[in-house]
Structure 1
């Protein structure tokens, strides 16, 4: 394993090798769900300046294989989240980035439930504390 430095700041790190669904690894054209979600995230970010403050990054395998099409939302000094079980399409990408923009604007990474886009509800897998902190 080699670690590659990236710019600090709010980011959605998408698993590029995730399964397409719980039952299928790839679509009919041989594309993995993770690769499709990465492409949808990049396209949505490029199409809307509201997402400029959130980087879209990718890496192979987030080790959340039971929860296909996963992303890790992170930022320095903020609680992180892993979300999954998305359909790798534009609607999911926009919901993820809508939430990520709210996350980036928050002080601690917590976003009030009433602000959550419908498309992320039910997709949270884990919450992780930032380095050097615990959540009370």
Structure 2
């Protein structure tokens, strides 16, 4: 199938399919005229990659997951370790976002929002503490 059909079946834009080929995640066959020729297996791998990326895995992590998926001798502990690392990173990002939210809540509560120029939010961003 051509890139348009593979795109439609995988739910990924053609640009992403070309990128995944460029970084070696998929290798569609080439016809004599040079067009990409995706097989059902390629589309399955593209769906796998799309799902792993939607779960927050990086390209390198998705590559490792794909390799583990194709390895009949894999150890599930290797997969679990990757997923656990991803969860730890998500927890770290959530904590960071919650901290940012607390700062913004405090700043917006300090801002009167009136017609005057004084603004604790801008003062904090500028690094000034004398406001």
Structure-1-length-normalised TM-score: 0.30
Normalized per residue, the structure richer in strand is: 1
**Which protein, 1 or 2, shows the higher relative CO under an 8 Å CA cutoff with sep ≥ 6?**
1
Q: Which has the larger radius of gyration?
A: 2
Normalized per residue, the structure richer in helix is: 2
Structure-2-length-normalised TM-score: 0.31
